Structure 1
Amino acid sequence: MSRALSAPEKVSGDTRAKVSEAVEATGYTINQAARSLRMREARTILVAIPNMGNPFYSTIMDAVVGEAAERGYGVLVANRLGNDPTQWLRDYFSSNRADGLLLFDASLELGHLPEPPRQRGALPLVLSCDEIIDGGFNLVTTDNRAAAERATRHLIELGHTRIGQIGGRQVHQFPNERTLGFQDAMRKAGLTTRPDWYFPGDHTMACGIRAADSYLALEDRPTALFCANDESMIGFLSRSRAHGIECPRDISLIGFDDISIAENYWPPLTTMRQPRHELGRVATATLLDILDGTTRPNQGLHVILPSQLIIRGSTAACSSHRKAVGQ
């Protein structure tokens, strides 16, 4: 009975059917706590997220929990790991409360991650973040650089040549992929990337508000902005509108992520849609394949999922371009 319940794929169909009948008749259930102590595994993964309040993660987490449950794993969620995240993680794994880590927070010092007791070697780990991080880590992400280039090219195709950017987070020594994509598009179009039109950001509405304040203080302003995510774009929109700036009449804006409010905000956000459900599902499946022995840990697997340009009302042809074509 034990093998049929814990590893049904290893027994015949007839045996599984007989065991299922016996379980139903007796009301037997597996003592998962005792099993975890005996097997030195928790059948649980830890998911580290930088900001649970960001609506970008809601769909991802739904996919993570669904994929894990289907494979017989539980999920623990860590939101902002505190002042000493490495020690925090070490405590988790040394107490046998989790078997592997799904990391959406790239600010963690990856070179100092703990080794769980049952694992000889590196911590089973899958990264899912904006940056392409070297070092042999398994990574599941979207095509951030190519998508940012496509977003910026959309502005250029609308006749904008004076384009700025609200940046995203930059962690460790790795450059932000979306900033690189923005720069790629500008360079290929022969356009100048102006330092005073770059507004630092951290993917929050607050950084979008700060960017709007800096934009409003400029005498010479860009006609379009590529925003590293939708939340910063919404922050910019709300503050600039309060000062009489209308989008897209005065400035075109394109975001990134396509969060749930993007379609229903005013104006509806033009943005790059990340496949968030697929991102969560594939990242979780990759980690569970490592834990189940299908994939070797830290073999440097990279999975890149494509984003989609969603054109809505926050972008329009540049006013000078409209005049040139007689609109």
Structure 2
Amino acid sequence: MTVTRKSPTIQDVAREAGVSTATVSRALSTPDRVSQATRERIEAAIAATGYTLNQAARSLRRQRAGTIVMAIPNAGNPYYSSILDSVLAEASSRGYGVLVSNRVQGDPTVWLRDYFQSSRADGLLLFDLTLDIASMRRFMTEHGNLPIVVVGDEMVEPGINLVTSDNREATGRAVEHLVGLGHRNIGFVTGPTMHDYPNERLLGFRQAMGRNGLPLREDWIIPGDHRMDSGYRAGSAFLTLAERPTAMVCANDEMAIGFISRVQQAGLRCPQDVSVIGFDDTDMAQYVSPPLTTMRQKRAELGAISTAALLDIVEGMRDPAKPVRIILRCDLVVRSSTAPLPGAAEAPAPRLRR
């Protein structure tokens, strides 16, 4: 007769350690709330019983949750797809889980604070710059000096860990691409400005227009919020202009796609009547009509590098007193939504940069 041995349970661990199951559970989920002596007894009981919650046992020894939080503003935005994949892959390779938090109605810091108050996470990857970064830093400091790495479009103050793209330089190159095609009247659909930091893409646009001695008209700078419907509304605003630019730079691909859709509905052609360049190179950029010229962010690298930096701080491999500052260059990807201005002098064909 074969006897099947029952797998050890948390009750077995509690009996072996001489504590309640609630104490074992608390030690595994929030080890800082249990005394060192009790944690050591529970760790020994886990080893003696063969209880197989290995990640929990490791967390017990190091007093970490083994989890990080990734806070994003809009899970439906395709910009975050490859970033999320790379965050999960990098965290998993180092034995960590990832809690993905999508912004909700009301105070957006409430759902984040709950994770850290209950010791369910070791650090924060902050992609949602609508949050009050200074307030979140104070809160994280008060709850164990937990680290934050910001991954966003703006150059936050030097004391904050930051991984970002060189948005100002990249938008300048977007303008240069259009100038090389003979365009001089160029407009911009801008994303929202957060906090008191400069809007890097708008600043890059203004500086590039100035460098090239081009007219910088405020009525050609149309506000948007990075969503496709705001690009569509920007297209409507463009159509009302008495004098229209011949080319538009859009602060992200979704707005560029919405913009093109609206002007095409009105009978204009892209790029024959207006050239349009986006930003990000999201997965759909190459499949829309016309395929979108855009500035490619290295999104997978942004995710992997920011995750590695956060975990290095968590594990004491990086000095928290020396803030992370990593800035990645974007690539110009030329497709069919931009073309030489009719009648302009022939310009050298732009190259696809990888």
> TM-score, normalised on structure 1?
0.86
Contact 2:181-2:347 at 8 Å conserved across structures: no
1:69-109 CA-partner distances (Å, limit 9, x unpaired): 00000000001154223333222101011110001111111
Other-structure match for 1:233:
256
User: 2:163 is matched by which residue type in structure 1?
Assistant: V
Q: Distance in 2 between matches of 1:127 and 1:311?
A: 29
Q: Indicate which of 276, 293, 296 corresponds to 1:253.
A: 276
Relative to structure 1, the CA distance from residue 228 to residue 147 in structure 2 (aligned partners, 3 Å threshold; closer, same or farther) is same
User: 2:101 is matched by which residue type in structure 1?
Assistant: A
Contact 2:67-2:121 at 8 Å conserved across structures: yes
Other-structure match for 1:76:
99
Q: CA deviation at 1:32?
A: 3.1
Relative to structure 1, the CA distance from residue 230 to residue 298 in structure 2 (aligned partners, 3 Å threshold; closer, same or farther) is farther
Contact 1:208-1:234 at 8 Å conserved across structures: yes
Mapping for residues 80-229 of structure 1, pairs under 5 Å = 80-113=103-136, 114-115=139-140, 119=144, 121=145, 123-229=146-252
Contact 2:150-2:163 at 8 Å conserved across structures: yes
Contact 2:163-2:305 at 8 Å conserved across structures: yes
Q: Distance in 2 between matches of 1:57 and 1:262?
A: 14
Relative to structure 1, the CA distance from residue 324 to residue 265 in structure 2 (aligned partners, 3 Å threshold; closer, same or farther) is closer
Q: Distance in 1 between matches of 2:294 and 2:205?
A: 14
Other-structure match for 1:12:
none
Other-structure match for 1:287:
310
User: 1:115 is matched by which residue type in structure 2?
Assistant: M
Identity over aligned pairs, percent: 54
Relative to structure 1, the CA distance from residue 204 to residue 177 in structure 2 (aligned partners, 3 Å threshold; closer, same or farther) is same
Q: Distance in 2 between matches of 1:224 and 1:277?
A: 29
Whether 1:304 and 2:327 are equivalent positions in the alignment is yes
Aligned residues: 298
Q: CA deviation at 1:38?
A: 6.1
Q: Which has the larger Rg?
A: 2
Contact 2:180-2:347 at 8 Å conserved across structures: no
Q: CA deviation at 1:143?
A: 1.0
Regions of 4+ moved over 4 Å: 322-325
Which consecutive residues of structure 2, in runs of 5 or more, have no partner in the other structure? 1-48, 349-354
Relative to structure 1, the CA distance from residue 73 to residue 209 in structure 2 (aligned partners, 3 Å threshold; closer, same or farther) is same
Q: Distance in 2 between matches of 1:218 and 1:310?
A: 29
Q: Distance in 2 between matches of 1:39 and 1:116?
A: 19
Residues 27-36 or 204-213, more deviating = 27-36
Which consecutive residues of structure 1, in runs of 5 or more, have no partner in the other structure? 1-25
Q: Distance in 2 between matches of 1:307 and 1:31?
A: 41
Q: Distance in 2 between matches of 1:232 and 1:89?
A: 29
Aligned residue for 1:319, secondary structure, equals coil
Q: CA deviation at 1:289?
A: 0.3
Q: Distance in 1 between matches of 2:232 and 2:338?
A: 19
User: 1:284 is matched by which residue type in structure 2?
Assistant: T
Aligned residue for 1:232, secondary structure, equals helix
Whether 1:54 and 2:59 are equivalent positions in the alignment is no
Contact 2:293-2:338 at 8 Å conserved across structures: yes
Structure possessing the higher relative contact order (Cα contacts under 8 Å, 6 or more residues apart): 1
Q: What root-mean-square deviation, in Å, do the aligned CA atoms of Structure 1 and Structure 2 show?
A: 2.0
Q: Distance in 1 between matches of 2:106 and 2:319?
A: 31
